[in-house]
Amino acid sequence: MRRRSAYLLLAAILAGAAALYLPTLKYEAIWDTRDFLRKSVLLTQDRPLADAFQSGFIYGQFGMNTQSMYYRPLVTLSFMLEKRFWGLSPATLRATNVAIFLCLVVLVFAILCTWGATEAVALTATALFAASPINPGNVVWVVGRGDLLMLLWGMLSLILLRRRGHWGPWRLPAAWAAFLLAILSKETALVFIPLFWLADPPGTTWKERFHHMGFLAISGGYLLIKHVVLHIGAPRLLFSSTLLDYPVRGLAVLGHYTETLLLPFNYPLFNFVSEVEAPRQVIVGAIAVLVLTAASIRIFRPGGNLGLRLPLAMTGVFLLPFILLGFTSMWPFRLSTRYMMAASVGFFWLTAMGLQRLPPLLRRVAPGALLLFFIPSVLQHNFSHKTEMTYWQRALADHPGHPAIVLKLAETHYIRENDLVAYALLQRNRGKRVRRITAMKQHLLLAKIEVERLDYPAALRHLKAAEPLDPEGHLQAELLRARIAACRGNLRNSLARLQALIRSAPHRPEAHVMLHRILTGRGNWPAAAAAERRARRTLGTKAAWDTPAMARRFRNMPPREQMGFFLAHYNPGAAATLFGSLDLPDNLDNRLFAAWIDFQAGLEASAAKRIHQTAAAFPKPEGQARIGRFFLDHMQRPATALTWYRRALKQKDDPEWRALAAHLESLLPNDK
């Protein structure tokens, strides 16, 4: 094949890969990406680029470095640079991921050519990799950029080591620099170290291999900075009392990933260890061990096929770290198909070499047939990332009824302010045995929902049940307790909790925002202005609330708007006083509004008394139904709303009320 023809085919592969992923640019930010855009102290505040190298990945972005398990500053730096150059949006973030992926596809072709593969093998393997259904989790899910960058820089380092006679004295420093960038993208780059050994030609002496010490030094420096300087941890290993559990789990995870590589057409977005610990996966894992061992003995012995060494090694060594993840405490899952991207490079390399041994007709048809199988699966997995709702709905379809997935879907509904569905979903987990972290997060979410339902005692019970909390959970719990205390009129308790949160997590805006809101809701404008100045020193322009202007607007508000201001700023007591001072007609809406204020103040008994007095004053079915609508719309209490709709239906059979009552019953499968 002429080189020009090969390059044209490579360009066609790149165009096809781009066509697969460009439609995803309009998809929304989901999960970790959404949290980064909304909460990351490095992306929401004006922070120097150097801060990327002082923060752990994920939790470090949220101002909680000690809770982080990963150190991937290059990924964080890429996000910060994007913010400076063209701003952050799901479209631009994904466009960058697609661009990195296309560069990675070129490097896959380059590394095969560098290792002596024929252009036919190189193009076949590159095309299979570019269209692989394994990749969407790293390309479309923005936080998967770490895998893309790690593999990109790691393979570039391999190419530089192999191309002796090029770059002159700069070859080794360039290879070291590429490896440094790889390990700063994702710690899995450590797996490249044994692969670098294969870049040396046969017969290389130990003295000539001394340059490998540079890679070891870089790795040691990375681990030293991560664990000793920044005190960033690592995923905690889970131990079993039965020794047999270790090989069984290891083989099951290996079997799961082996099946993923062999049949990547249709697979879950991720998987749970408990679901793959089945006899089939254990048997497949055992067969994989035997095949890899036999192939390694045959290929790595003297006189073995040199061209097979790197692809076989890439396939094998990149399985190892992700098998180990099966023994950690990661949540909500530990097994993900996207982790197989690096291993798939070696696997598709071997596949392409195997296809060349087929008869000529099959050799031409087989790659195209595989691509036809791959592309629909890629499109399907891409669509799963369209919204957070489609992502977790797909996950729940893959794992019906799994408590962690039900919880994540409920969180998604809560974020979208659909508390009724979130609450109904959480009822599915009632009585199930779940992991401790799932139970903690579930109680925390239920506490948030109960606060929105103005059922403060229930919220506090859930917060108590959620303990002990991790640092992020503690922050969320204390914010809820501070809000409840403020609404109940216990200002000293509320302010003390918020001040403690500001001291422990000064770069998180939530406590600053709530403190300012509570102070302005009490009309303490000087203290609110001082709180704004303190917040500005930490948060920058994110704390630009302009307290004096807010005070002027409040003084010019009509009484109704002032009541709304008090309620939004956690001061229902002032709202109740102002409401009582107004000359308002004694109608159903005003009575319900007074009860709503009592509910916000935590005066459940007084509010219930007002509701029963209102029901007695407006006994017609329309009045009972209006009370039901109040509990549904303003209180998010479907069980109570259903009770009032049933009372209305006893007096009048209204089709709309009957349909709404049936809907409420469907939301309360476990409620009586």
- 118-144 pLDDT, tens digit per residue, is 999 999 999 999 999 999 999 999 989
Helix 90-114 vs helix 145-162: crossing angle, to nearest 10: 20
pLDDT for 209? 77
DSSP 220: H
Could you give the CA distance from residue 301 to residue 201 in angstroms, rounded to a whole number? 15
Find the range with the poorest average confidence among 11-20, 214-223, 225-234, 487-496. 225-234
What is the CB neighbour count within 10 angstroms for residue 629?
Answer: 17
Residue among 134, 204, 213, 139 nearest 172 (CA) = 213
Q: Where are the domains of the chain?
A: 3-384, 470-583, 587-672
- Residue 506: is its pLDDT beyond 70? yes
Residue 323: helix, strand or coil by DSSP?
helix
DSSP 335: E
Q: What is the pLDDT of residues 252-308, one digit of tens each?
A: 999 999 999 998 877 788 888 888 888 999 999 999 999 999 999 999 888 778 889
Could you give the CA distance from residue 12 to residue 18 in angstroms, rounded to a whole number? 10
pTM score, whole prediction: 0.90
At residue 672 the predicted structure's pLDDT band, cuts being 50, 70 and 90, is very low
At residue 670 the predicted structure's pLDDT band, cuts being 50, 70 and 90, is low
Show the tokens assigned to 350: 């071997």
Could you give the CA distance from residue 125 to residue 350 in angstroms, rounded to a whole number? 8
Q: How far is CA 451 from CA 33, 148, 287, 508, 519, in A?
A: 26, 41, 54, 21, 20
Q: What is the pLDDT of residues 344-398, one digit of tens each?
A: 999 999 999 999 988 988 888 999 999 999 999 999 999 999 999 999 999 999 9
pLDDT exceeding 90 applies to what percent of the chain? 64
At residue 431 the predicted structure's pLDDT band, cuts being 50, 70 and 90, is confident
Could you give the CA distance from residue 484 to residue 470 in angstroms, rounded to a whole number? 21
| CA angle centred on 652, ends 647 and 656, rounded to 5° | 90
| CATH number corresponding to 587-672 | 1.25.40.10
Are residues 532 and 513 in contact, defined by beta-carbon separation less than 8 angstroms?
no
Hey, do 470-583 and 587-672 end up sharing a CATH topology, with the first three levels equal?
Answer: yes
DSSP 524: -
Q: Which class for 475: exposed (0-12), middle (13-18), buried (19 or more C-beta within 10 A)?
A: buried
Could you give the CA distance from residue 239 to residue 399 in angstroms, rounded to a whole number? 25
Question: What residues are paired with 57 via a beta bridge?
Answer: 70
pLDDT for 671? 45
- What are the DSSP calls for 364-432, one per residue? HHHHHHHHHHHHHHHHHHHHHTSSHHHHHHHHHHHSTT-HHHHHHHHHHHHHTT-HHHHHHHHHTTTT-
- Residue 230: is its pLDDT beyond 90? no
DSSP 336: E
List all residues 6 or more positions away from 454 whose beta carbon is below 8 Å from its beta carbon. 599, 600, 602, 635
CATH topology of domain 470-583: 1.25.40
- Mean pLDDT, the chain, whole residue set: 90
Based on its alpha-carbon atoms, the radius of gyration of the chain, rounded to whole angstroms, reads 30
DSSP 219: H
Residue 118: helix, strand or coil by DSSP?
coil
